[in-house]
């Protein structure tokens, strides 16, 4: 706390330690549940990591080397966090691309395996509470042989994909162009047919032959053929 902040608080609350404690507690709770964009941090630990552009509202944490994060400059705001590796496990050669004119109200992206990738196409719209896991971060293996069976390689999300609130996309998944993932859906395999609605846990195709617009229904209905 700066001297100016101390002076302002003293002028507001006098010498009441109780009121000062209530003020500090309220600020702490606000910062937890309603963090400002300025609280988003960029942490890069390691060599030869390439991050040319980070939009407003995006937190980035990279632990390892030779990792690339490419976000198209047309993405002006991306609320959420991007995590490549962690302080206790360093990764090598991961790649994330977020395409043109994408938006996010709250997306958490995690890569934890060397060489894993997340590819997000153009004009995608992600709601809040979205989780994209390109890695499990823990090991699953066969008894007896010790063979690993849950390597994370790539998550691919095509152009013009809408992820509904609290949806999850797991490792090695594929979502084709013009698709929608319904609220709380869990995508755990490859869906290569474009123009589908995916819903449920695990997600399955519930409707085909669709596309969507970010416009509100009341606005769009006047333009519909």
Residue 143: is its pLDDT beyond 70?
A: yes
Q: Of 192, 193, 188, 138, whose CA–CA distance to 168 is shortest? A: 188
User: Domain ranges in the chain?
Assistant: 1-34, 41-214
Q: What is the C-alpha separation between 218 and 162, in angstroms, rounded?
A: 19
Q: What is the pLDDT of residue 32?
A: 46
Q: What is the pLDDT of residue 222?
A: 61
Q: What is the pLDDT of residue 216?
A: 85
- Tokens 């869990």 sit on residue: 186
Report helix, strand and coil shares of the chain as percent, to nearest 5: 15, 35, 50
Q: Is 109 exposed, middle or buried (0-12, 13-18, 19+ CB in 10 A)?
A: buried
Q: What is the pLDDT of residue 41?
A: 87
56-66 tens-digit pLDDT: 999 999 999 99
Least confident of 93-97, 181-185, 208-212, 214-218: 214-218
Q: What is the pLDDT of residue 10?
A: 55
Residue 166: is its pLDDT beyond 50?
A: yes
Q: What is the mean pLDDT of residues 74-81?
A: 94
Percentage of the chain exceeding pLDDT 70: 80
Percentage of the chain exceeding pLDDT 90: 72
Higher-scoring residue by pLDDT: 185, 88: 185
Residue 5: is its pLDDT beyond 80?
A: no
In the CATH scheme, what is the code of domain 41-214? 2.160.10.10
> CB-based contacts of 204: which residues, under 8 Å, 6+ apart?
198
Q: Of 157, 155, 54, 73, whose CA–CA distance to 113 is shortest? A: 155
């Amino acid at each position: 706390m700066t001297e100016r902040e101390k002076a302002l608080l003293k002028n507001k609350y006098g010498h009441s330690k109780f009121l000062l404690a209530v003020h500090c507690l309220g600020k702490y709770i606000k910062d937890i549940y309603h963090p400002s964009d300025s609280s988003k941090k960029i942490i890069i630990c390691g060599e030869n990591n390439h991050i040319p552009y980070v939009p407003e509202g995006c937190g980035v944490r990279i632990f390892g080397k030779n990792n690339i994060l490419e976000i198209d400059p047309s993405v002006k705001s991306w609320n959420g966090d991007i995590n490549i590796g962690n302080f206790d496990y360093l990764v090598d050669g991961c790649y994330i691309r977020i395409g043109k004119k994408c938006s996010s109200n709250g997306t958490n992206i995690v890569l934890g395996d060397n060489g894993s990738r997340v590819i997000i196409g153009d004009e995608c719209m992600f709601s809040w509470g979205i989780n994209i896991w390109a890695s499990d971060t823990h090991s699953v293996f066969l008894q007896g042989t010790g063979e690993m069976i849950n390597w994370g390689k790539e998550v691919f999300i095509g152009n013009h994909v809408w992820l509904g609130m609290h949806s999850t996309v797991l490792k090695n998944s594929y979502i084709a162009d013009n698709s929608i993932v319904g609220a709380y859906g869990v995508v755990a395999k490859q869906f290569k047919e474009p123009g589908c609605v995916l819903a449920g846990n695990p997600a399955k195709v519930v409707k085909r032959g669709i596309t969507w617009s970010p416009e509100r229904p009341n606005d769009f209905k006047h333009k519909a053929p």
